[in-house]
Every structure is written in C-alpha cells, then in structure tokens.
Amino acid sequence: MSDSQAINQAVANLYNTYPFPPDPLSDLEPPGYNWRWSWTAAYSFCTGKKPVTQDIRILDAGCGTGSGTDYLIHLNPAAEVTAIDLSEKALAVAEERCNRSGVIAKHSKPVKFLNLKLEEATQLEGEFDLINCVGVLHHLPEPDKGIKALAKKLKPGGILHIFVYAELGRWEISLMQKAIALLQGDKRGDYRDGVKVGREIFANLPEHNRLLQQEKKLWSLENHRDESFADMYVHPQEIDYNVETLFDLIEASGLDFVGFSNPKYWQLDRLVGESEELMIRAKGLSDRARYRLIELLDPSLTHYEFFLSKPILVKENWSDDATLNGAIPECNPCMQGFPSQSFLDFEYQMVHLTEAEYQFMLACHQNTEQQVRVGEILTRCDLNLEGVRSLFERQLIILSSN
C-alpha cells in the first residue's frame, strides 16, 4: 500500500468510526439556507447576474454525512445532484438524511450517492456546472491531485466552491493535535482513544491555559460531540494553508480565482483605514500580497471559503445606467422573513429597509413571473438607480438582462 493509499484509508477509518458532521437526522426539510449552495445566489455572487438555466449538474465532492447535500438538493430543485465520499458509513448517513428530510422525494432530477475518493471524481460521467467541496482538500494526501481532478470535471463557465483550513486561526488546534499524538504513541489511529486522551488533557489544563481558553471560546459547543472533537483534534491527515500556499494550490488547478465568499474580511481599510500613509503603501501590493497582509494583521481566520471558475465565466457589473434600467430584478432566494421591512439576509444578518427599498423589493418579489424591468419599477417608487445598486451590492436582489 502506498503512502497516499494508507492516508486515505486512515481518513476513511476515522469517518467510519465517527461519521461527520454529526448533525441530527430530521423528517423535515433542512432549516434555513447556505447561499453558497444555491446555484442562483452563488452564480450571481460570482458573475453579477442570474444564471440562464436551473437545469444543471451539481457534484458534492466529499459529502460526509450529507448536511450540505441536503441543502444542495433542496435549494436547486431542477438540478441533477451527485454526492461522493470515501467513507461508506458517512455516505450511508448522507443518503438516509436526504431521504428522511423528504428532499429527494420532491426532487425531479436524479440524485446519486457514490462511494468514491475525491481523486476518483474523474471516473464520473460528464461535467458539472457547480462543484461543492467543503472541508475535504485539506484532508487529502496530495491536495493538488484532488483539485486537479475536480477541475477536469468542471464545465466551462462553471463554478467550484471550496472550503479549506487556515493555519493562523487554527494555531491552538494544531498544538493540541500534536500533544494528543505524542501521548497516544503507538495507539495513534485508535480514534476513540484519541478522543479520550484529548478530553483528559482539556479537563486538566489550568484555567488560564491558551489552548483551553480557545477551545471554550470557539469550539466547545460543537465539540461536546465526539464526532466533532475527533474531526478537529485526532484527524490523521490535515494540511493548513496560508494565503501563499493557498494560491499555489489554486494555480495548480488551472482554474481562475473568482473571489472569497466573505469579502468584508478581505478589506484592508477595516484594519488600517485610518492611516492614509499605510493605505497608499498598500496600493502597490498585488492582490495576493494584500490578502497576505490582511491575514497577518488579523490572524483570526480559521478557514478560507472561495469560488473558482473554468473559463469563460462572463461577468456583469451594471455600471451603465441604461443597462441597469433594462435589467430584470428578483429577490435573492436566500433570505428569511421577507416580505417585511426587517428580515434576515443571505448571511443571516438582520436587514432594515427604507420604505422606498421595501416597495422596490416587493415588486422584485413578484418578478419571477412578471419580468418587470428596473426602470419601470422605479416609476412606481421613490428609489433611484444608486439605491438599486445598493440592494444589489448587499446581495438582496439578483439581476438578469433577459
């Protein structure tokens, strides 16, 4: 058995022992939403416009117990969905979850669950419009081979959503992983023993200890479940990234970087915007260098979440007034509590609309059938084009030119 095969087998053994994530099964559809798993919302974020079709193919690459798959099926009713994972037990839970929730019974297109390693995605037929890969690449023995396999299966003009760990925000986790490994000795690979050792360490560390404080502050709520504790602290394979190594991985894929899905974190002015001199100096930095500067100044980031695309992904910025007037606006599908002037947006943050914004969005709410353009709606409310652009930039509306 090669080193890569041994690592993959060890990872499979972990998730067969502790299927992850340990989200409870439910007889109800998944609650809420994750806009990154909505083809319409994600495509609009990446391109500035609504996709021309909902008849797409989605791959959930490394689905685990199917919490994300459940949403992918639910949020994309016209899509063919395929989910793969190397753990047989996690995959069985994923299939049970999506059947229990009822999303498969309501789905008009095929849904498949296949026991495959991510590197084996090239065996799948055809290409995919949307590939979701959350929390997987950093557990591969050779992540570059994994991302290249996904790139081969991505359709031109398609998007790839990725989540990988960031080393700076996981520093304490890394130390704890190494401590547990030292105390386990030749029992490494016995994941139940690893959880036992890790919990014993935390139970005996001094109250002021940095590792204990970080665990209590960030992770203890989810880590009361052994599955989560094991995934975090006794994983047999983990590669944590920084901006430099992350973009090396992206370059290896041959795909284009579209952007991070949390753009507010990547704004330098939130950190040193009060200094004109520093902002001027930063203007000479490349995007990659500026991203590195931001994570060095704010090392709280525990993961990177971003989109890649296979050329050509056509984008629209709606800077021309005539083009924006002719656009057809709709409400972002990932919101909760609308219609109301106060509701939860795509990131579960409370939004309060002005009366003019509310009247405009009421018209958008009815626009999936009526197809009324921005200019016509503006004749019936007090909002102007800058107000429309504000709603669009806040991802409250989605625009199309059809």
Per-residue pLDDT of the chain (402 residues; tens, 9 = 90+): 899 999 999 999 999 999 999 999 999 999 989 999 999 999 999 999 999 999 999 999 999 999 999 999 999 999 999 999 999 999 999 999 999 999 999 999 999 999 999 999 999 999 999 999 999 999 999 999 999 999 999 999 999 999 999 999 999 999 999 999 999 999 999 999 999 999 999 999 999 999 999 999 999 999 999 999 999 999 999 999 999 999 999 999 999 999 999 999 999 999 999 999 999 999 999 999 999 999 999 999 999 999 999 999 999 999 999 999 999 999 999 999 999 999 999 999 999 999 999 999 999 998 767 789 999 999 999 999 999 999 999 999 999 987
**DSSP line for 136-159:** -GGGSSSHHHHHHHHHHHEEEEEE
Which of 143, 127, 169 lies closest to 62 in space, CA to CA? 143
* Reported pTM: 0.97
- Write down the pLDDT at residue 207: 97
- Write down the pLDDT at residue 370: 75
Alpha-carbon Rg for the chain in angstroms: 23
Residue 82: helix, strand or coil by DSSP? strand
Q: Which residue pairs, CB below 8 angstroms and at least 24 apart, start in 178-187?
A: 180/233, 180/234
Helices (H) and strands (E) in the chain, counts: 19, 11
- Write down the pLDDT at residue 14: 98
β partners of residue 343? 351
Q: How far apart are alpha carbons 331 and 391 in whole angstroms?
A: 10
Which H or E element spans position 111? strand 111-115
- Write down the pLDDT at residue 366: 85
> 127 near 159, Cβ under 8 Å?
no
β partners of residue 225? none
> 256 near 308, Cβ under 8 Å?
yes
> 393 near 319, Cβ under 8 Å?
no
- Write down the pLDDT at residue 38: 98
Q: How far apart are alpha carbons 320 and 330 in whole angstroms?
A: 19
Which DSSP category does 131 fall into? E
- Write down the pLDDT at residue 401: 87
